[in-house]
C-alpha cells in the first residue's frame, strides 16, 4: 500500500458523504426540538421528585438519534452493521412513570424523522404532540379518585364521620381500617362531587375526629 492509496481509501471517502451544512442543520434542529420536548416534560411531570438528568437525557437522545440515522442513511452497508450493533444494547434503568416511555419514543422518533429530511413532519408533529400532552396531562378532574385518611376516637365518631362524608362525596369505599384502643384510623377511596374540598375542614373540626388528610390518588399509594 502506497501513500496515495491511503487517501484513496473508502474510509476517507466517507468523510464527504454528508455535508457539513446538512450535519449542522440537522443537529441544530434536533437541539431545538429536544429542548421543546424537555420543556413539555417539565410542564407535564406529575411524579414525586423531578429528575433533571432524565430531562437532559431526552435532549441528548434526540440529538444522538439524529446523528446515528444520518450515518445510516449515507451508507447502506453501515445501516446493516448498525442494526446488529444496536441489537446488543440493553438498558437496565427502570421507568417509574408510564408517561416517560412516551417521551423516550418521542425523542427517538424526532431524531429519526429529522435525519430522514422530513423537517416539517418533525416540527409540526412535535408541536401537535406537545399541545395534546399539555392539555390532557395537566387536566384536573374531580372525578379522579382520592384517598382520605382520618382518625377518630371510636366507633360512634366513625359512624358520624362516614355519614357526613356520604353526603359530601359521590363515591365512598373503605380501603383499610386500623383499630387501636381509643383510636380508629380509616383509609377511604372517595370521588368528589366537584372541585370543592372544604368538607375536609368540616370533617377535621367534627367532635372526636383527630385528623383528616385528602391525597390525590394516581396508583402510587397503597391503602
DSSP string, the chain: --HHHHHT-HHHHGGGSS-HHHHHHHHHHHHHHHHHHHHHHHHH--SSS--HHHHHHHHHHHHHHHHHHHHHHH-HHHHHHHHHHHTT--------SHHHHHHHHHHHHHHHHHHTT-HHHHHHHHHHHHHHHHHHHS---TTS-EEEEEEESSHHHHHHHHHHHHHHEEEEEEEEEEEETTEEEEEEEEEESSS--THHHHHHTSTTEEEEEEEE-SSS---
Question: Domain check: are 35 and 124 in the same one?
Answer: yes
Which ranges of the chain have pLDDT less than 50?
3, 6-7, 11, 219-223
Domain extent at residue 88: 3-137
Question: Domain check: are 109 and 199 in the same one?
Answer: no
Query: 156 in a domain, yes or no?
Result: yes
Instruction: Please state the φ and ψ torsions of residue 140, each to the nearest 5 degrees.
Output: -100, 140
Query: 194 in a domain, yes or no?
Result: yes
* Residue 223 pLDDT: 36
Query: 223 in a domain, yes or no?
Result: no
Distance CA 66, CA 31 (A): 10
Number of domains observed in the structure of the chain: 2
Question: Domain check: are 93 and 174 in the same one?
Answer: no
* Residue 83 pLDDT: 57
Question: Domain check: are 9 and 40 in the same one?
Answer: yes
Query: 221 in a domain, yes or no?
Result: no
Domain boundary residue among 78, 103, 137?
Answer: 137
Domain boundary residue among 92, 114, 137?
Answer: 137
Query: 43 in a domain, yes or no?
Result: yes
* Residue 7 pLDDT: 46
Question: Around Cβ 139, how many Cβ atoms within 10 Å?
Answer: 8
Question: Domain check: are 185 and 166 in the same one?
Answer: yes
- Find the CATH number of the domain harbouring 211: 3.30.70.260
Distance CA 192, CA 169 (A): 5
Domain boundary residue among 95, 114, 137?
Answer: 137
Question: Domain check: are 121 and 170 in the same one?
Answer: no
Instruction: Please state the φ and ψ torsions of residue 88, each to the nearest 5 degrees.
Output: -95, -5
Query: 222 in a domain, yes or no?
Result: no
Query: 161 in a domain, yes or no?
Result: yes
Question: Domain check: are 105 and 130 in the same one?
Answer: yes
Output the pTM of the full model. 0.63
Determine contact, residues 163/221, Cβ cutoff 8 Å.
Answer: no
Amino acid at each position: 500500500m502506497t501513500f496515495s492509496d491511503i487517501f484513496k481509501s473508502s474510509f476517507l471517502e466517507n468523510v464527504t458523504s454528508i455535508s457539513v451544512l446538512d450535519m449542522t442543520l440537522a443537529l441544530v434542529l434536533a437541539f431545538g426540538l429536544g429542548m421543546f420536548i424537555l420543556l413539555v416534560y417539565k410542564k407535564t411531570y406529575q411524579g414525586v421528585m423531578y429528575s433533571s438528568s432524565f430531562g437532559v437525557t431526552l435532549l441528548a437522545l434526540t440529538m444522538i438519534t439524529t446523528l446515528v440515522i444520518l450515518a445510516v442513511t449515507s451508507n447502506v452497508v453501515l445501516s446493516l452493521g448498525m442494526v446488529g450493533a444496536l441489537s446488543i444494547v440493553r438498558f437496565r434503568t427502570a421507568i417509574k412513570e408510564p408517561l416517560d416511555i412516551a417521551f423516550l419514543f418521542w425523542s427517538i422518533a424526532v431524531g429519526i424523522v429529522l435525519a430522514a429530511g422530513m423537517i416539517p413532519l418533525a416540527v409540526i408533529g412535535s408541536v401537535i404532540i406537545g399541545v395534546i400532552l399539555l392539555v390532557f396531562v395537566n387536566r384536573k378532574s374531580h372525578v379522579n379518585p382520592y384517598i382520605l385518611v382520618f382518625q377518630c376516637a371510636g366507633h360512634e365518631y366513625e359512624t358520624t364521620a362516614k355519614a357526613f362524608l356520604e353526603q359530601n362525596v359521590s363515591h365512598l369505599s373503605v380501603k383499610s381500617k386500623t383499630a387501636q384502643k381509643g383510636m380508629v384510623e380509616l383509609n377511604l377511596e372517595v370521588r368528589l362531587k366537584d372541585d370543592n374540598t372544604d368538607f375536609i375542614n368540616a370533617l377535621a373540626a367534627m367532635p372526636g375526629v383527630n385528623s383528616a388528610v385528602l391525597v390525590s390518588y394516581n396508583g402510587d399509594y397503597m391503602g
